């Protein structure tokens, strides 16, 4: 297998952490987003959406989207189980991952993509140029704070995000909290439960993947 990757981007990091938790090593193929290599004709043949990560299977199939890639890896190598031990555990994992993606990751991305000069003409992934809207930075900050407060409330009552076991949802949250630092938001500040959880998960060897 090969993973088309950019080591500074949050979504490929989710997959790298997942692979590390599984004890799997795959070939990493760098795609430099800063140099717009994701927009080249060669890469668009691999993923027309022009995003990373992309997993190339041993059969030559290309799978994009972090969740889809990790579900595939879980099916190929079920242990250790990172999508829950049973049907309810899987549902909880997918639910909390969806909350992290739709309420957290998108809010931080809204800030970054409408703030950073590097996204001036490409506020959304892909080949079509869309201009920045600076007013959305403030909205993204509000959404991010609201999301982090929700995570604080959840982790005050739960050892891990989806329950008693470490899951893919925790990986998604770690990446999102660290991603928020790109826009100078420290989600741990004033949130003791989230801070304790972050310290615990950051101590796992996979967190450095």
- pLDDT tens profile 25-39: 999 999 999 999 999
Say whether 27 sits in a helix, a strand or coil.
Answer: strand
Q: Which helix (H) or strand (E) holds 2?
A: strand 2-5
186 and 139: one domain?
yes
Question: 124 or 62: which carries more pLDDT confidence?
Answer: 62
How many C-beta atoms surround the C-beta of residue 137 within 10 A? 17
Residue 81 placed within a domain: no
Domain edge (last residue) among 22, 54, 76: 76
pLDDT tier, 75 (very low <50, low <70, confident <90, very high otherwise): very high
Do the beta carbons of residue 111 and residue 144 sit within 8 Å? yes
Contact by Cβ (8 Å): 76, 92: no
Please, which pLDDT band fits residue 185 given cuts at 50, 70 and 90? very high
Q: What are phi and psi of 26, to 5 degrees?
A: -130, 160
With a pLDDT cut of 90, the percent of the chain lying above it is: 93
Q: Give the residue among 154, 163, 132 at the shortest CA–CA distance from 177.
A: 154
In a domain, 93, yes or no: yes
pLDDT at 141: 98
Domain hosting 95: range is 87-208
How many structural domains does the chain have? Answer: 2
Q: Within this chain, do residues 116 and 193 fall inside the same structural domain, yes or no?
A: yes
Q: What is the mean pLDDT of residues 149-163?
A: 98
CA separation for the pair 188, 193 (Å, rounded) = 8
Residue 82 domain-assigned (yes or no):
no
Choosing from 19, 43, 76, the residue where a domain stops is 76
Query: Count of CB atoms within 10 A of residue 74's CB?
Result: 19
> For residue 181, what pLDDT band results from cuts at 50, 70 and 90?
very high
pLDDT-derived band of residue 127, with 50, 70 and 90 as boundaries?
confident
CA 199 to chain centre: 18
Do residues 184 and 104 both lie within one domain?
A: yes
Going by pLDDT thresholds of 50, 70 and 90, the confidence category of residue 122 is confident
DSSP 56: E
DSSP 117: G
Average pLDDT, stretch 182-202? Answer: 98
pLDDT of res. 105: 98
């Amino acid at each position: 297998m090969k993973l088309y990757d950019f080591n500074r981007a949050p979504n490929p990091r989710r997959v790298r952490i997942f692979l590390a938790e599984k004890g799997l090593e795959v070939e990493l193929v760098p795609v430099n987003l800063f140099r717009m290599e994701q927009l080249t004709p060669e890469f668009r043949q691999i993923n027309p959406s022009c995003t990373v990560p992309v997993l190339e299977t041993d059969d030559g199939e290309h799978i994009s989207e972090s969740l889809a890639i990790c579900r595939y890896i879980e099916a190929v190598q079920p242990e250790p189980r990172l999508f829950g031990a049973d049907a309810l555990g899987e549902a909880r994992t997918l639910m909390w991952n969806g909350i992290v993606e739709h309420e957290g990751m998108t809010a931080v991305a809204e800030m970054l993509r409408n703030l950073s000069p590097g996204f001036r003409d490409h506020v959304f992934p892909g080949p079509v140029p869309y201009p920045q809207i600076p007013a959305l930075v403030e909205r993204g900050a509000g959404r991010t704070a609201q999301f982090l407060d929700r995570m604080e409330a959840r982790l005050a009552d739960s050892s891990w995000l989806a329950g008693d076991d470490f899951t893919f949802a925790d990986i998604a949250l770690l990446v999102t909290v660290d991603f928020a630092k790109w826009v100078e938001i420290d989600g741990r500040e004033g949130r003791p439960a989230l801070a304790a959880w972050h310290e615990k998960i950051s101590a796992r060897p996979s967190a450095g993947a």
